[in-house]
Structure 1
């Protein structure tokens, strides 16, 4: 644990895999010695996404690296176009958890519009 009680990055990765299963959110590959899991920020940090469990899912290192700063729904469409099998239900659940977190705790004004837009895009799919 972090000295102030917040889970460390490694602990948040374990939490994400316990919550969502041991599969990449973007390609559905199961994690193993050859498919390394990483923490994926659903709302990218560069866009103001926080490093909290509500904004993190597990993704393989390849998908996380390739995504860069693409928006969640944009990258979802891209991985489908590349022939991968994403897990949109995990992505949507994360976005909704983050929206609920903001509703309950406030703050994160910078990402509220971004988050609402991504949820609208998912609802249209």
Structure 2
């Protein structure tokens, strides 16, 4: 039951609508490998903080990634996956990843909750610096 003093809940967007918003924000390329989304490169939403690590399904925790990168990343941390992408000779968008980490940190501070994600994120931001 929702109390009088509880903040209003944000309506959950459909996955396709979230993907459209994320593509508008991040652009038509995979932030990890740099490939353009086209007929053969399917865009997906990738959780920066994986859901198994407490990552929320908020727009601030999702970035545009190709299906290959999303699948191959698995539960690797953003910092570790970024290093792997660079090792492979890909062109990850460091600026977009850094902005996404900061956006998520700000969203957690504003909304509260997501304690597990906040701890995970703090570790990633320390390594990012």
Identify the residue that residue 55 of structure 1 maps to in structure 2: 61
User: CA contact under 8 A between 2:78 and 2:124: conserved in structure 1?
Assistant: yes
List, as ranges, runs of 4+ consecutive aligned residues in structure 1 with deviation greater than 2 Å: none
Count of aligned pairs between the two proteins: 120
- CA distance in 2: counterparts of 1:9 and 1:91, whole angstroms: 21
Q: Per-residue deviation at 1:119? A: 0.9
Q: Give matches, 1:106-117, under 5 Å.
A: 106-117=112-123
Identify the residue that residue 30 of structure 1 maps to in structure 2: 36
Q: Unpaired segments of 5 or more residues in structure 1? A: none
Q: Unpaired segments of 5 or more residues in structure 2? A: 1-9
TM-score norm. by structure 1 comes to 0.92
Identify the residue that residue 77 of structure 2 maps to in structure 1: 71
Q: CA RMSD in A?
A: 1.0
Instruction: Say which SS state the counterpart of residue 115 (structure 1) adopts.
Output: helix
Q: Per-residue deviation at 1:83? A: 1.0
